[in-house]
Amino acid sequence: MPRWRKLGRVFDPAAVGGRPWLRSFAQAPCALVCDDVVRMYFSCRPDPDADGRYVSYSAYVDLDRSDLFKIRGVADEPILPLGGTGTFDEFGTYPVSVIRTGSEVRAYYAGWTRCVSVPFNTAIGCAVSRDGGRRFERLGPGPILPYSPDEPFVMSGPKVRRFGDAWYLFYIAGRSWKMVDGRPEPVYRIRMATSPDGLSWTKANRDLIPPRIEADEAQASPDVFEAGGRYHMHFCYRYSAGFRSHERGYRIGYAWSTDLLHWTRDDARCGIDVSDEGWDAQMISYPHVFAVDGQVYLAYLGNEVGRGGFGLAALDGPFD
C-alpha cells in the first residue's frame, strides 16, 4: 500500500504580490516536469466583485527540480484569459491538467459559467501551448467533453494520462443537485473517456468508484498512476452536506485496477489523512501523483479546498 510522508506546504498564494488576479487559492496542483524546474499548475482567484462573485484563473509556480520547496518563479499572468461572452468558460478555468505531446503542451481544463437556478455549470475544454507551457490557446470556443444525456451537468475535474498508445481522461460528471439548507449542492461521480489522439473522446459511460460514506457522496480529482503492475487511483470525496467542516470535509481515497475500467476501492490504503493541526488539519483534497528523478510525490490541497495553497508528500517505499 502507498505510504505518504508529508513534507509540508510548498506554495501559499498569500505570499505572492503584484498579481491582482492571484489573491487566494492554489487549487488542483498538476506537475509538468521540465529540465531544471517542476512547473506546478494551479487555479486561483482574484478578490470577489462588488456582488461577492468570483472568477477563477489558472497559472503556475516553478519549483526547483532539485529542491521542490525552492520557488524559482510564479507566472506573470494566467495561462488562459477568461472565455468570451456566453462561452462555457466565460467565468473561469478550474481545474487544469497538463501533458506533453511532441513539442507542445496540452491543458485539459474545466471551464465554468454562472447559472440562475444553480450556482454554476462546467464542461471540459482543451488548450495548447507552444512555448513550454507558459501561455495556452484554446482549440476553439467550445468544450471537447460537453454534457450529454447520460452526463447532464458538472463535467469537471479532468486528469489526463497516456498508457501505452491510448489517452485516458478521468473526470467527474454530475448526477444530481441536492438542496442543502436552501442552497443547491452538486453530487458527482468519477468517470473516464479514452482517445487515440487526445482530441476525440469515447466515454466509458459508467461510474468507476462506488460511494462509501453515503449514497450522495461527491467524488473529485481522480488521478491515476501506474506502478507495480497495477493502476493506482487517488481521488477525493466528501459528504453532500456540511462538507465545509472538519468532520464532513474532503478526504483522499484510493482504488486500484488492472484494466483501468474496473476498480477496487480501498480508502484504508490511501496512505494519507488530515494532520492534527495546521494548514491541512481541516481537510485534504485534489491529489496529484507525479515522479521526479526517481522519487514519487503526491501534491494535495489543505483547508478550505486550497484557499491557503498546496503541499507535498513523498512516497516511502513502493506501491504494492
Span 122-160, pLDDT tens digits? 999 999 999 999 999 999 999 999 999 999 999 999 999
Write down the pLDDT at residue 137.
Answer: 98
* The three grid cell numbers given for residue 1, joined into one nine-digit string: 500500500
Residues, the chain? 320
CA distance linking residue 320 with residue 307, whole number of Å: 33
Per the listing, cell 507535498 goes with 312
CA distance linking residue 190 with residue 207, whole number of Å: 6
Q: Does the N-terminal peptide bond of residue 20 adopt cis geometry, omega within 30 degrees of 0?
A: no
Residue 77 has pLDDT above 70, yes or no: yes
DSSP 244-275: TSTTTS-EEEEEEESSSSS-EE-GGGS-----
Residue 195 has pLDDT above 90, yes or no: yes
Q: What is the mean pLDDT of residues 169-191?
A: 93
Give the helix, strand, coil percentages of the chain, each rounded to 5: 5, 50, 45
Write down the pLDDT at residue 246.
Answer: 73
Q: How confident is the model at residue 71 (pLDDT cuts 50, 70, 90)?
A: very high
CA distance linking residue 314 with residue 193, whole number of Å: 29
Write down the pLDDT at residue 155.
Answer: 96
pLDDT above 90 coverage of the chain, percent: 91
The domain segmentation of the chain, as residue ranges, is 4-315
CA distance linking residue 86 with residue 19, whole number of Å: 26
* The three grid cell numbers given for residue 317, joined into one nine-digit string: 517505499
Residue 30 has pLDDT above 70, yes or no: yes
Nearest to 136 by CA among 230, 224, 32: 32
Q: How confident is the model at residue 243 (pLDDT cuts 50, 70, 90)?
A: confident
Q: What is the mean pLDDT of residues 272-290?
A: 95
Q: What is the mean pLDDT of residues 187-204?
A: 96
CA distance linking residue 77 with residue 54, whole number of Å: 17
* The three grid cell numbers given for residue 96, joined into one nine-digit string: 487544469
Per the listing, cell 464542461 goes with 123
What Rg value do the Cα atoms of the chain yield, rounded?
18
Residue 219 has pLDDT above 90, yes or no: yes
Residue 14 has pLDDT above 70, yes or no: yes
Residue 1 has pLDDT above 70, yes or no: no
Residue 320 has pLDDT above 80, yes or no: no
Architecture of domain 4-315: 5 Propeller (2.115)
CA 207 to chain centre: 18
